[in-house]
A and B are shown apart, each in its own frame.
Chain A
Amino acid sequence: GEQVEQRPPHLSVREGDSAVITCTYTDPNSYYFFWYKQEPGASLQLLMKVFSSTEINEGQGFTVLLNKKDKRLSLNLTAAHPGDSAAYFCADTGGADRLTFGKGTQLIIQP
């Protein structure tokens, strides 16, 4: 079945610096990709949904890049601030109704 590898598992950056989280996937039929943020004790907050036809997607304070050739998805946080401290999860649909999640990245923003 579909496998999603997410790196790094832990990431610590200084406030104002950038942070990059990367996922690779195996299913060539994957069409939708997602980034979620999970704050401590909370549920999942959808940051961005990416379609395979779009390679660069910009949100508020972050950019999502999709490289279909390498089956790689990345989340780039620019100018990180304390509110960005959380766990981040990538996921794809694998062509079915289910989502396959990466193992998550615990991001800490240091003052």
Chain B
Amino acid sequence: GALVYQYPRRTICKSGTSMRMECQAVGFQATSVAWYRQSPQKTFELIALSTVNSAIKYEQNFTQEKFPISHPNLSFSSMTVLNAYLEDRGLYLCGAREGADTQYFGPGTRLLVL
């Protein structure tokens, strides 16, 4: 079956530092990967959408300079939160899909910023 793994599941970083999170698709080819953030008490916001052989598209309020994303192959993507501050805390979800099929979500990386 199709599975999506995310690492780490939970992380704490000091304010002003950076942290990298990873997303691994197993059992299918992740032709597109979407990164979402759920801030405390809020819904899921799309950060960016990465499609193989296309430029990564960032949503308003999110930039490559702050959330650089790598999608080097059809099974892996990573995103870094640079210079993290309190407002960056939340649950970061990776959603991967093959073509027009269902988007499968990973368990998320929960980021705490001290």
- A residues apposed to B, CB below 8 Å: 32, 41-44, 46, 49, 89, 91, 96-104
Contact = CB atoms under 8 A, between A and B. Distances in A.
A43 B107 contact: yes
B106 interface: yes
B93 A89 contact: no
B90 interface: no
Contacts of B32: 97
Nearest to B32: A97
B49 A89 contact: no
Contacts of B93: 43-44
B18 interface: no
Interface residues on B, range: 20 to 34
Contacts of B43: 89, 101-104
Interface of B: 32, 34, 36, 42-44, 46, 49, 51, 91, 93, 95, 97, 102-103, 105-108, 110
Contacts, number: 43
Nearest to B104: A46
Contact of A43 (B42, B46, B51, B108): B108
A89 B44 contact: yes
A97 B32 CA distance: 7
Residue among A32, A44, A49, A96 with max Cβ neighbours from chain B (10 Å): A44
A99 B102 contact: no
Given A43-B107, A44-B93, A49-B102, A98 B49 contact: yes
